Chain A
Amino acid sequence: MTTTAAAPERSRPTISRTKQVLRLTRTEFTLFVRYKTAWMFLFLPLFLAFVTLQLPNDEVIPGFGAAELAMIASMGTIGLILGVGHPSNVFTARRESLVLKRFRVSGVPQSVIFGAVIGVVVLFSLVIAALVVGLVFATSGGTLPRDPLMLVVAVILSGVMYSLMGLLVTPFVRNAEAAQMAAMVPMMILLFTGGGVIPLEFLPETARQVMTFVPSVPAGEMAQAAYTGYDAFGGFGSAEEKGYLGLWVSALPSLGVLLAWIAVLTLLVRRYFRWDPRQP
């Protein structure tokens, strides 16, 4: 300190982004728990999972009926509801109340601010997914996921993707109420196209191929494949049971679609996100 004349910016200590993301995720968690409205986003996917119990449960593949498969696919909607619903709402409110600006001027990188809200969405998505697994376990007479890792990957990736989508809602709305309304649009469309409501196997081949690029499809299919061990991609009509590696190979297109959406949405969020209420 006394002897060197090093440039001050080099002598300043640094802090790792991972540490920052984890720390801010902790606060996001606290805020989520205190903000009771957000709990709705936890109950909704559980409710949707329960609704599938009403479906006729004819066996589709050995050990799994249609209702159970629908319940498993509903794990793809956890991230949708939480990710599109929560970040769009709170980030709009925080932009308008200058909280985001306050973070930025105090030197918190954009990636950390986004990373933390994505972190809390992923965290709660995993918790809800675990509860749904419990439900499937109970109704299917004790079957556990064949490939838990793939299930976790599906839930995490869809949580990330939908959170980015939720963040992308914020530049188009002026306040948190409008954000809640606006978030309903992609949420409803994607819920409807997610396979939970339209059974994909009844669609014509071309429509089904288009549908595989819709962001809500791959996560649900990955969840089904991960749970059953069957190649569920593109319907169960001709689905076969696969080995561990075989299943991952068949999951590659879905993984690719999820990652591609994440990449595109990241670019869009970087480009269009507004930090300042006055920014035109």
Chain B
Amino acid sequence: MTTTANTAAADQGRQDTTGPAVVVRDLRQHYGDFEAVKGVSFEIRPGELFALLGTNGAGKTTTIETMEGFRRPSSGSVRVFGLDPHGQPSGVRERTNAVLQGSGLLDDLSVDETIGLAHDLAANPRDTAELLDLVGLSDKGGVAVRQLSGGQKRRLDLALALVTRPEVLYLDEPTTGMDPEARHETWQIISGLKKHGVAILLTTHYLEEAERLADRLAIMHRGEVRVEGTLASVLAGWGDRVSFLLPEDVRTGDLPELPEAEIAVETRDQALWATYTAMGGDVADRAHRTVAALIAWAAERGITLQHLQVRGASLEDVFLRVADGAADLLTD
């Protein structure tokens, strides 16, 4: 039963795959002299999730607020379904929804009254009982919103954003304050929406969330996009790490030079660790190539590589590098 409804929704989503649902071109946003967003561009297609990551104050919420139609761009353009969202023309308003960074709930209403109101104001609402069940608030219907916990409010925010069956969804840190279980459930909900053709913009400080959900992502710092692409392409640029405990009789200078890999040696727990970062363009093979060369070197010298670890670059590595390196980028 639900599957037929889902297929129908998916079909409807697919009709839109002709072009991106959201196009942002060279967006700039000033607050007086301060430029909060400095030339950001991206597109989101139906069924795609674009993650906008970045440091605090990078300009993510400002970008979303512009897409929601609350601000006119200082320059550049935003188009949602081909329309300028500023002032929220009905062609945009009725097809989008959002989870705001702050909740925006009426404390004096109960959970049922809150979702009931959103339901009755929508043109083609989803069933409220089903939604409360989806976000795990079924047993909280009669509770006043002011009595909900932080994570429960966040769940209600998500339910409210889904009532109107949006085709474009802006999620500004939707899982902040949720427990790990709720976060996993939210990820499932979001994956489901993607399958139904919803175009989603997600900002989050939980990088694992972006790793799991994002088709493409950008990392912003001080108003600029510093890194952009698919997860694989972003990570590829940052290399795979192979590290091991340096045997006592091996000196740093004895470590082999390997092609397309950088060596770094650091002290951890009063021991020396060597880390090779494999940077080659052969993304799929480079970790293997590096390990094979190191094993061959160790066999030759009759030593064992203790605590050998192979680790792909994580989004966190990239993020921290962006946040750090920003200082250098700004000075030049």
Report which A residues bind B (CB closer than 8 A): 1-2, 5, 8-9, 11-15, 20, 23-24, 27, 30-31, 34-35, 94, 97-102, 104-109, 112, 275-276, 278-280
Identify which of A13, A35, A102, A112 contacts B123 (C-beta below 8 A).
A13
The answer to the question of B19 belonging to the interface, with a C-beta cut-off of 8 Å to chain A, is no
Say whether B81 contacts A9, CB under 8 Å: yes
Is B264 part of the contact surface with A, judged by Cβ < 8 Å?
A: no
**A-side contacts of B26, CB under 8 Å:** none
Within 8 Å by CB of A102, from B71, B91, B96, B100, lies B100
B97: chain A residues within 8 A (beta carbon): 105-107
- Residues of chain A with a CB closer than 8 A to B102's CB: 97-98
Which among B65, B100, B103, B164 is the interface contact of A107 at CB below 8 angstroms? B164
Give the shortest distance, in Å, between A134 (CB) and chain B (any CB): 31
Min distance, Cβ A36 to any Cβ of chain B, angstroms: 11
In the complex, which of the residues A13, A27, A109, A280 contacts B32, with contact meaning CB atoms closer than 8 Å? A280
> Please, which residues of chain A bring their CB within 8 A of the CB of B94?
9, 12, 14, 107
Q: Is B16 an interface residue (CB 8 A)?
A: yes
- Contact residues in A for B69 (Cβ distance below 8 Å): 104
Complex Cα distance A109/B69, Å? 12
Q: Which residue of A lies closest to B16 (CB)?
A: A8
A27 neighbours in B (Cβ, 8 Å): 106, 109, 113, 117
The CA of A107 and the CA of B80, in the complex, are separated in Å by 14
- B208 contacts A by Cβ under 8 Å: no
Chain A residues, CB < 8 A from B170: 105
| Interfacial residues of chain B within 1-50, with CB under 8 A of chain A in the complex | 8, 11-12, 15-16, 31-32
Q: When chains A and B are docked, how far (Å) is the Cα of A1 from the Cα of B8?
A: 8
Residues on the B chain within 8 Å of A105, using CB? 68, 96-98, 100, 161, 170
User: How long is the Cα–Cα vector from A104 to B87 in the complex, in angstroms?
Assistant: 10
Question: Which residue of chain A has its CB nearest to the CB of B163?
Answer: A106
The answer to whether B105 and A102 touch across the interface, beta carbons within 8 angstroms, is yes
Closest to A1 in B: B8
A101 to B32, CA, bound (A): 22
Q: Complex Cα distance A229/B167, Å?
A: 58
Q: Is B95 an interface residue (CB 8 A)?
A: yes
Judging by beta carbons under 8 Å apart, are A279 and B70 in contact? yes
Shortest CB–CB separation between residue B91 and chain A, in angstroms? Answer: 6
CA distance A1 to B13 in the complex (A): 12
Are A102 and B11 CB-contacts (below 8 A) given A15-B121, A23-B117, A280-B31?
no
A104 and B70 in contact, given A27-B109, A276-B65 (Cβ under 8 angstroms): yes
| A residues near B93, Cβ cutoff 8 Å | 107, 109
Chain A: minimal CB distance from B95 (Å):
7
Cα of A5 to Cα of B123 in the assembled complex, Å: 21
A98 touches B100 (CB 8 A): yes
- Please measure, in the bound complex, the distance between the C-alpha atom of A278 and the C-alpha atom of B65, giving whole angstroms: 10
B113 touches A99 (CB 8 A): no
- Among residues of A, the one whose C-beta sits closest to the C-beta of B68 is A105
Residues of B within 8 A of A8 (CB): 12, 15-16, 95, 167
Distance to closest chain A CB from B158 (angstroms): 12
Instruction: Point out the residues of chain B lying under 8 angstroms from A101, CB to CB.
Output: 70, 100, 104
Given contacts A99-B105, A106-B97, contact A15 B91 (CB under 8 A): no
Determine the distance from Cα of A133 to Cα of B15 in the docked complex, in whole angstroms: 61
Q: Which of B240-259 touch A at CB < 8 Å?
A: none
Which residues of chain A have C-beta atoms less than 8 A from B118's C-beta? 106
**A104→B86 CA distance, assembly (Å):** 12
Question: How far apart sit A94 and B107, CA to CA, in the bound complex (Å)?
Answer: 10
Please, which residue of chain B has its CB at the minimum distance from the CB of A95?
B104
Q: Which 7 A-B pairs have the closest CB atoms?
A: A102-B104, A98-B104, A105-B98, A15-B123, A107-B93, A13-B124, A98-B102
Q: How far is the CB of A248 from chain B (nearest CB, A)?
A: 37
| A108, B71: Cα distance in complex, Å | 17
Chain B contacts with A in 92-136, Cβ cutoff 8 A? 93-98, 100, 102-109, 113, 117-118, 120-124
Nearest B residue to A14 via CB reads B123
Is the Cβ of A35 less than 8 Å from the Cβ of B104?
Answer: no
